[in-house]
Copies of this chain bind each other. A is one copy, B any other.
């Protein structure tokens, strides 16, 4: 078995063929969830699955499971997968690689006439990206009960089209009740979205956990005024107060190495005119950590800092937590299997904590591990909340 190797050229060719559906001029892909292009992509991958001898099940939120039987039909399948929808300015590999890598494994098992003990399934989940419809990670989220099928069905795009209607239109409104599809273990391969592996010159990252994150909207309200006529001492400059908080977001994350993250990614200044002192600034704050207690400490320290700025400046500052995902440690047996296989195949490797959201977060929910990545006891039933105010 350790001599079995996938056909890299075949995998690459499939990736390139799929990437032609929605190809953009500079080599990217735009294939938004539940569009005609998504249907074409789904049809292509399902066709490949059937050519590889797999049976196909579609559930009510459009998640697709392609199955290769094993020796023991009483075992739940070992599943691998990801998503094939993309961002408006997406690339060829995000999600798609995880699906087609699974397909390539099946093709290779077929080539070598290898029968596995448990069934193998290759899945792709509906609307992971969330660009056209929110919430993100919709298919896997409904699957694990993070939110209801009705919530997902009712989601509308900017033109008012609903998920349910669009699923039906493209022919992927299946019959299986989401979550009633058994999973024995779930693995998801993914192109790295950060610089860590390249920086460390490693080929494969083993992912023991996904970071938790807290997202906030912060609004600082001062007084809009003309830049020239308003003396410094009479100003209520919303941007100056905001930049203090923006500095602290980064300083805070730097106090919690190695897994603390602090980012201000989005800023809106009003009225945003060269010679007007900003009267209002809205900005986002993104805090992450792999340890939920540390994430909470970061949360508390940030709120305390903002309280101080509010008192010092006299300006109104509102801070609202708009999203919270706890850290998601993966099952040590699954992580260990990946690490062992990687080493057995001779690839350079390192552990990498994932900072981004993936379907695996939801797919892992049926398998809560007993300790988190840092060895602390994990919450027995992590709560996934999409709009939890602070």
Contact among B194, B239, B250, B278 for A228, CB-based, below 8 A: B194
Q: A288 in the interface, Cβ–Cβ < 8 Å? A: yes
Q: A50 in the interface, Cβ–Cβ < 8 Å? A: no
Q: Are A231 and B274 in contact (CB under 8 A)?
A: no
- Contacting residues, chain B, for A195 (C-beta < 8 A): 225, 229-230, 234
- Contacting residues, chain B, for A237 (C-beta < 8 A): 250, 263
Q: A370 in the interface, Cβ–Cβ < 8 Å? A: no
A46 to B240, CA, bound (A): 45
Q: A213 in the interface, Cβ–Cβ < 8 Å? A: yes
A211 nearest CB neighbor, chain B only: B228
A240 nearest CB neighbor, chain B only: B250
Assess A274 versus B247: contact at CB under 8 Å? Given A196-B231, A229-B192, A230-B195: no
Q: A75 in the interface, Cβ–Cβ < 8 Å? A: no
Of A57-65, A115-123, A147-155, A252-260, which binds chain B?
A252-260
The CB with the most chain B CB atoms within 10 A, among A240, A257, A265, A278, is that of A265
Q: A277 in the interface, Cβ–Cβ < 8 Å? A: yes
Contact residues, A256-301 vs B (CB, 8 A): 257-258, 260-267, 269, 272-278, 284, 286, 288
A204 to B243, CA, bound (A): 36
Q: Are A355 and B234 in contact (CB under 8 A)?
A: no
Q: A344 in the interface, Cβ–Cβ < 8 Å? A: no
- Contacting residues, chain B, for A276 (C-beta < 8 A): 263, 265
B-contact 0/1 string along A218-231, CB 8 Å cutoff: 00000001111111
A301 to B277, CA, bound (A): 21
B-contact 0/1 string along A327-368, CB 8 Å cutoff: 000000000000000000000000010111100000000000
Q: How far is the CB of A375 from chain B (nearest CB, A)?
A: 21
A357 nearest CB neighbor, chain B only: B228
- Contacting residues, chain B, for A356 (C-beta < 8 A): 226, 228-229, 275
Q: Are B274 and A284 in contact (CB under 8 A)?
A: yes
Q: A232 in the interface, Cβ–Cβ < 8 Å? A: yes
Q: How far is the CB of A389 from chain B (nearest CB, A)?
A: 17
Q: A244 in the interface, Cβ–Cβ < 8 Å? A: yes
Q: A158 in the interface, Cβ–Cβ < 8 Å? A: no
Q: A199 in the interface, Cβ–Cβ < 8 Å? A: yes
Q: A172 in the interface, Cβ–Cβ < 8 Å? A: no
A226 nearest CB neighbor, chain B only: B193
Q: Are A229 and B196 in contact (CB under 8 A)?
A: yes
11 new A-B contacts at CB < 8 Å, known A226-B355, A226-B356 = A194-B231, A228-B288, A229-B352, A232-B250, A232-B257, A240-B250, A263-B275, A263-B276, A266-B269, A274-B286, A275-B356
Can you list 13 A-B pairs with a CB-CB distance of less than 8 A? A192-B229, A194-B228, A195-B230, A196-B229, A211-B228, A228-B355, A228-B357, A232-B254, A264-B278, A265-B269, A266-B269, A266-B274, A267-B269
